[in-house]
Chain A
Amino acid sequence: MSVVPGLKEDCEELLGAFQQADTVRFERFAELWRERRFHTIFYGRIRALERNKLTKTTLELAQQYFFPPYSFQIRVGALYLLYGLYNAQLCQPKQKIRIALKDWPEIQKFQQDLLDSQHYDAAYVFRRLRLARAFHFTAMPKLLTYRTKKKIEENYFKEEFKDPSNRVNSLITNDVLEELMNIHGHYQKMKCVISADKSQPDKALSLIKDDFVVNLKDITLEHQEWQQNRTKLFQNAKETDETESKKKEETLLESEGSERASALARIKYRSYSAVVEVSKSRRHRQVQLESSEAGSSCGKSPSQSKKTSRRPQPARRRGEMQVAKEAVTRHIGMPVITEENSDE
Chain B
Amino acid sequence: SIDMLMSSEKEEDPDVIPEDSSLLTLRIRKKVLERREETIIVDRACRQETLTYEMESHATGKRPDNLTDLIEEGELLLTLNIFYPVIFQKHKDHKPYQTVLVLGSQKLTELRDSISCVSDLQIGGEFSSQPDQAPEHISKDLYKSAFFYFEGIFYNDKRYPECRDLSRTIIEWSESHDRGYENLQSVRMEDYVFNDLSLKIGFPYLYCHQGNCEHIIIITDIRLIHHDDCLDRNLYPLLIKKHWLCTRKCSVCKMYTARWVTNRDSLAPEDPCFFCDVCFRMLHYDTEGNKLGEFLAYPYADPGIFN
B223 touches A124 (CB 8 A): no
Candidates A47, A87, A143; contact of B6 at CB < 8 Å: A87
Complex Cα–Cα for A5 and B93 (A): 25
B94 touches A4 (CB 8 A): no
A271 contacts the other chain (CB 8 A): no
Question: Which of B5, B43, B223 has the most chain A CB within a 10 Å cutoff?
Answer: B223
Q: How near does chain A come to B3, taking the closest CB pair, in angstroms?
A: 7
Candidates B27, B49, B222; contact of A49 at CB < 8 Å: B49
Contacts of A42 in B (CB 8 A): 14
Candidates B27, B45, B81; contact of A47 at CB < 8 Å: B45
Q: How near does chain A come to B64, taking the closest CB pair, in angstroms?
A: 18
A144 touches B45 (CB 8 A): no
Please tell me which stretch of B15-23, B253-261, B273-281 contacts chain A, meaning at least 4 of its Cβ atoms lie within 8 angstroms of it.
B15-23
B221 contacts the other chain (CB 8 A): yes
B221 touches A143 (CB 8 A): yes
Complex Cα–Cα for A88 and B14 (A): 11
Chain B residues touching A, range: 35 or more
Contacts of A48 in B (CB 8 A): 53, 57
A148 touches B93 (CB 8 A): yes
Complex Cα–Cα for A284 and B25 (A): 26
Q: How near does chain A come to B53, taking the closest CB pair, in angstroms?
A: 4
Candidates A4, A45, A90; contact of B33 at CB < 8 Å: A45
B28 contacts the other chain (CB 8 A): yes
Q: Which residue of A lies closest to B51 (CB)?
A: A49
B228 touches A5 (CB 8 A): no
Complex Cα–Cα for A33 and B2 (A): 13
Please tell me which stretch of A131-139, A221-229, A234-242, A259-267 contacts chain B, meaning at least 4 of its Cβ atoms lie within 8 angstroms of it.
A131-139
A20 contacts the other chain (CB 8 A): no
Candidates A36, A45, A145; contact of B23 at CB < 8 Å: A36
B60 contacts the other chain (CB 8 A): yes
Interface string of A113-142 (1 = CB under 8 A from B): 000000001001100100001001111100
A44 with B15: in contact, given A6-B27, A10-B24, A148-B93 (CB under 8 Å)?
yes
A7 touches B33 (CB 8 A): no
Contacts of A27 in B (CB 8 A): 5
Q: How near does chain B come to A142, taking the closest CB pair, in angstroms?
A: 10
A138 touches B222 (CB 8 A): yes
B220 touches A143 (CB 8 A): yes
Interface string of B86-116 (1 = CB under 8 A from A): 0000000110010000000000000000000
Contacts of A6 in B (CB 8 A): 23-29
B14 touches A43 (CB 8 A): yes
Contacts of B228 in A (CB 8 A): 93-94, 96, 133
Complex Cα–Cα for A297 and B141 (A): 78
Contacts of A140 in B (CB 8 A): 201, 221-222
Q: How near does chain B come to A69, taking the closest CB pair, in angstroms?
A: 25
Complex Cα–Cα for A143 and B231 (A): 22
A39 contacts the other chain (CB 8 A): yes
- A142-159 residues with Cβ-Cβ distance < 8 A to B are 143-148
A9 contacts the other chain (CB 8 A): yes
Complex Cα–Cα for A9 and B29 (A): 14
A40 with B23: in contact, given A137-B223, A140-B201, A146-B81 (CB under 8 Å)?
yes
Contacts of B176 in A (CB 8 A): none
Interface string of A7-33 (1 = CB under 8 A from B): 101100000000000000011001001
Contacts of B28 in A (CB 8 A): 5-6
B202 contacts the other chain (CB 8 A): yes
A203 contacts the other chain (CB 8 A): no
Residues of chain B at the chain A interface (Cβ within 8 Å)? 2-3, 5-8, 12, 14-18, 21-30, 33, 43, 45, 49, 52-53, 56-57, 60-61, 81, 93-94, 97, 201-202, 218, 220-224, 226-228
Residues of chain A at the chain B interface (Cβ within 8 Å)? 4-7, 9-10, 26-27, 30, 33-45, 47-49, 52, 84, 87-88, 90, 93-94, 96, 98, 121, 124-125, 128, 133, 136-140, 143-148
* Cβ-closest 5 pairs across A and B: A6-B24, A6-B25, A30-B5, A138-B223, A139-B222
Given contacts A10-B23, A45-B43, 6 further A-B contacts (CB under 8 A): A5-B24, A43-B12, A45-B33, A94-B228, A96-B228, A143-B221
